[in-house]
Structure 1
């Protein structure tokens, strides 16, 4: 029988593990700003060439969409994918079970906060200083982030030179139920047959389908549907991500509160936040085409979609730490692979649909996204679990 997570209190917000969460928040902030910077710079570069002739206007949309999709996919593989898997390797050894939602949500909220900042100030920087300064500024922030990461981040609390004895003992004792032996070969066959893992993968696929559309096409939607100029469009596009950052942190706090007070079981918490994170944005997306005539209602719904979607961070997104903490990094890589596939398909599909007919195209985009989210929700709700799987448990070595 699985051991119940310890409820013994340890040092909290002044502790080293919360410092690590803030550095990871900063890292995710840096990665997303560098990703979105390219999309903003492309628009600025294209706008600077519009006076060359009418031919440029005819190819502008195609060029922007193509480069946006390519840059999103390439950067997702090369940066966020590897960084996220690395972060989950660290949390498997640093995050006490009753603080996993809190710590991972603090770290993960950096992506939404970065989206808010870059969309809010990226256009202003390109207008005031020129588009190259977007890369100069946020590239410099990335260099500072690297220095912090290499200086402060360690694989586990046992080897960190600055951790207090009290915090080290608390973390180690809270993770005694997990494996501490050298990792054996990855049980691929057992993983392939594990429905709780497939539930996580389908959750990632559904979640990233809509998230990629919002990140990539939100400025386009605001500009073409609401007819807002580019400068104001950047500011409006940033608002949903401050809501997403806030919901990520608040969701993590609430999830761990429910667990620490024994109000809900671990699987109930995971399914609750997964349901909220997939159902609520779907409802908002389906409602968008019907309120297009109302500027304020449309803005509110666009703010709610990323905000409520990030409640998944306390659901299936950290579920690999529950079902297979030994292989959390490996499984997170696979999970984000499913998310990447969803992002490529959804962004390509969106570009095709809105190029055929803008009004009906956006409606079909949102309806299709809601359908994908509902599929992921039903699959996760049916097969999701939160107990350590048999193939991921510690097994003592025996000699014949």
Structure 2
């Protein structure tokens, strides 16, 4: 569950005008929309991370097929960072466009284009070298920059208040699950006779099929759907206070940009992305060059921490909600406790990981599981704090913090490229993990001391005394 996940509910503070009983059918059109978006995050994250494993096979012999190309590239970390060159560009604008025009066709078009460049990546690698791969990945990143702001907007119209936690978690859990599956499948395919090019074809086709399905079955709002029942439409719109027909509040840009809790979320998000993407892009190379795992076992072991992250994300979110509902801890305290678990525990594990070598493989794997798995607690920390401090503008806040924080997603692999000149040198990896650990600690410190769980006064700026825009 990618760091973009769970920041939902731009209209989440609006109360239902009337209580309407949920439709008796266990599967409605809203569930189709949710499942489509789950598949989107699953495929998008698969595309995002498959190169982290495939690049090992692209630069070292992994397949018995002599026709599979192998490249002599010494800029692997730069290649891995290229996705974020495009990804950071459309974030804030994508949310505003989705709000104005609706997210459906933005999702269809951007995922289709992203998939086309995935299909072209093997050809671009052979004809243009690493520059071709970087161009393809940057364009894929730009397309995926539209995904999470658009999903956020779509779910805010489709998911009833009483179902938001369950359905929202299901959608965004597609990210970490997609990471797990992509790493494993990429390793298996890369070691097969068909080699690494096949994995890009597989995900390219999956993305195109999804785009077609979304074009046919997807809708921006319940009122635009041609297949929804009147009963279900009434249930959703009543739950949301008929919010789909209400004029959005103007964005209080000055208040947002001068808000200390917003800056606390931003700093935490930046620290999270540095550590998360250092690991997700570099673990396969670390496992290959330092721990000397073969590509197939490498992919399984690289995926294991993210499977644990996926499982623990549900555990931590359940515990956090329980503490809040039972009022054992305040909302703000809960966010800070779980944020600390999600950043401090991994920071400690990373320090020890830097001292591991091939003789301590099992311990290194255990530390990676701890570093990545416990990081899932942030989904109950800063990652949902946008909704806490401003339910009306949480989408905009997500666009801002996701845009800026992904600059750090870009910089982290570039830092590794500069520091790790010899991938077999454990001392250089110690510096990589040590810096990530320090950034985790500092960013959490800022969030704990400057963050808040209270709705900010500027949340309702733009409403008159009668509550109208």
Aligned residues: 391
1:62 aligns with 2:74: yes
Residues of 2 paired with 1:396 and 1:160: CA distance? 33
Tell me which of 23, 46, 57 is aligned to 2:59.
Answer: 46
Higher helix share: 1
Structure 2 equivalent of residue 119 of structure 1 = 183
Tell me which of 221, 232, 241 is aligned to 2:297.
Answer: 232
RMSD of aligned Cα (Å): 3.5
Where 1:60 maps in the other structure, the secondary structure is coil
Residues of 1 paired with 2:203 and 2:301: CA distance? 21
Structure 2 equivalent of residue 84 of structure 1 = 148
Residues of 2 paired with 1:383 and 1:16: CA distance? 41
Where 2:195 maps in the other structure, the secondary structure is coil
1:371 aligns with 2:438: yes
1:183 aligns with 2:195: no
Residues of 1 paired with 2:331 and 2:217: CA distance? 31
Structure 1 equivalent of residue 452 of structure 2 = 385
1:24 aligns with 2:49: no
Q: Structure 1 residue 213: deviation in Å? A: 0.8
Does the 8 Å CA contact 1:109/1:246 hold for their aligned counterparts? Answer: no
Where 1:355 maps in the other structure, the secondary structure is coil
Residues of 2 paired with 1:161 and 1:318: CA distance? 33
Tell me which of 350, 371, 382 is aligned to 1:285.
Answer: 350
Q: List per-residue Cα deviations over 1:260-308 (Å, max 9, x = no partner).
A: 4444433333223222211221121122124444221111111222222
Tell me which of 307, 310, 333 is aligned to 2:373.
Answer: 307
1:274 aligns with 2:346: no
Residues of 1 paired with 2:464 and 2:220: CA distance? 24
Does the 8 Å CA contact 2:62/2:295 hold for their aligned counterparts? Answer: no
Q: Structure 1 residue 217: deviation in Å? A: 0.3
Q: Structure 1 residue 164: deviation in Å? A: 6.1
Does the 8 Å CA contact 2:14/2:241 hold for their aligned counterparts? Answer: no
Q: Structure 1 residue 197: deviation in Å? A: 1.0
Residues of 2 paired with 1:159 and 1:17: CA distance? 12
Map 1:1-400; keep pairs closer than 5 Å. Answer: 14=27, 17=30, 19-47=32-60, 60=72, 62-74=74-86, 77-95=141-159, 100-126=164-190, 127-160=192-225, 172=237, 175-176=240-241, 181-292=246-357, 293-355=359-421, 358-393=425-460, 395-396=463-464
Q: Structure 1 residue 322: deviation in Å? A: 2.7
Residues of 1 paired with 2:464 and 2:181: CA distance? 50
Where 1:129 maps in the other structure, the secondary structure is coil
Residues of 2 paired with 1:259 and 1:153: CA distance? 34
Does the 8 Å CA contact 1:99/1:256 hold for their aligned counterparts? Answer: no
In structure 2, the gaps of 5 or more residues are: 1-11, 64-68, 89-140
Where 2:320 maps in the other structure, the secondary structure is helix
Q: List per-residue Cα deviations over 1:357-392 (Å, max 9, x = no partner).
A: 822221111121111111221211122223332222
Does the 8 Å CA contact 2:181/2:303 hold for their aligned counterparts? Answer: yes
Residues of 1 paired with 2:216 and 2:223: CA distance? 16
Distance 1:29 1:227, change over 3 A: same
Does the 8 Å CA contact 2:44/2:144 hold for their aligned counterparts? Answer: yes
Distance 1:14 1:323, change over 3 A: farther
User: If the length of structure 2 is used for normalisation, what is the TM-score?
Assistant: 0.73
Q: List per-residue Cα deviations over 1:51-81 (Å, max 9, x = no partner).
A: xxxxx99x93513233222235435641443
Q: Structure 1 residue 353: deviation in Å? A: 1.7
Distance 1:262 1:160, change over 3 A: farther
Q: Structure 1 residue 84: deviation in Å? A: 1.1
Q: Structure 1 residue 14: deviation in Å? A: 4.7
Structure 1 equivalent of residue 118 of structure 2 = none
Does the 8 Å CA contact 1:279/1:373 hold for their aligned counterparts? Answer: yes
In structure 1, the gaps of 5 or more residues are: 51-55
User: If the length of structure 1 is used for normalisation, what is the TM-score?
Assistant: 0.84
Does the 8 Å CA contact 1:88/1:328 hold for their aligned counterparts? Answer: no
Residues of 2 paired with 1:359 and 1:168: CA distance? 58
Q: List per-residue Cα deviations over 1:149-194 (Å, max 9, x = no partner).
A: 3344444445545556676566555555989742354221111111
Distance 1:345 1:65, change over 3 A: closer
Does the 8 Å CA contact 2:323/2:329 hold for their aligned counterparts? Answer: yes
Distance 1:367 1:44, change over 3 A: closer
Where 1:128 maps in the other structure, the secondary structure is coil
Residues of 2 paired with 1:320 and 1:360: CA distance? 38
Distance 1:320 1:49, change over 3 A: closer
